[in-house]
Amino acid sequence: MRVVVIGSGAAGLTTASTIRRYNKEMEIVVITKDKYIAYSPCAIPYVICNEIPSFEDIIMHTPEEYKKDRHIDVITESEVLDVDSENNKIIYKDKENNEIELTYDYLVLATGGSPFVPPIEGVDLKGVFKLRTIEDGMKIKEYAENSKSAIVAGAGAIGLETAYALKELGLDVIVVEMAPQILPRALDIDMAKIVMKYLEEDVGIKFIHEKCHTDIRVWSTEGKGLVNKELEDMGIACKIVPFRWPCRKVTLMKNIPNFIRHLRKEKPDIIHTHAYRDHFFSVILSKIFKIPEIFL
């Protein structure tokens, strides 16, 4: 029996390891687009500013370790192109661009999210980055070493950590946020003001609030950076623009609730990690090992 897990984030790898704990014989295959797995994404900004010496220090396990210690095959730098649920098979493209067919008995969709890059003019220019993976962090760190200024789009936790990291490297940093406050999903506005005051006065980071993607655009990052149309005459100069707007969930279907109901009724061999934080593992175990959820 074979379980195929699409995605190597917390849900995907923990699912694979949990299945192995309950079943020592089942073949488990994890397929991921990422080159590096089992690392702490929250630590990436701390590597950028050299507080953590290297990106290798935040990687907890390698694909080779998963194979040796847990007998789990992790296929990296590969993308699933198609799921044939009628015949229980997938087609994926490996890092050599070969299209490979793989059958499954159970399929777990754990694709996670991807950073939302708003449709801003110029986001494809040199010096504009998203931040989600180790590879993204490596690119930002390398580019920042030859830069003097940066603008971070997004004032969430990782956006602020990235701004702080770039400031620690000696760059002039401006954070642009569409909400009227920083950390809009974590703090009330009165507490956010305290944090922002510290970042402005003690750290030296500047902020621009309530500027959505329709208000800004990117010029050439060699001289002009991410600017607000109202400030076009100023032409805020920067050389590096990391995007850290919220992640959006990546799925194979647009209507998640209907999709899940369809899977539960028609495709019990396909499991989606929509409920990972709540009762996901009880669903996994009850489906694969026939353990009633009431006992989990």
Catalytic positions, written as ranges: 42
Nearest to 141 by CA among 59, 50, 222, 57: 50
- Round to whole Å and give the CA distance between 89 and 247: 28
Rounded (10°) CA dihedral 114, 115, 121, 122: -90
Nearest-5° Cα angle at 116, 114 to 118: 155
What is d(CA 42, CA 45) in angstroms, rounded to the nearest whole number?
Answer: 7
Which residues have C-beta within 8 Å of that of residue 114, sequence separation ≥ 6? 132, 247, 248, 250
Measure the N-to-C terminal CA separation of the chain; round to a whole number of Å.
23
* Residue 164 backbone phi and psi in degrees, to 5: -60, -40
Q: How far apart are CA 288 and CA 283, in angstroms?
A: 9
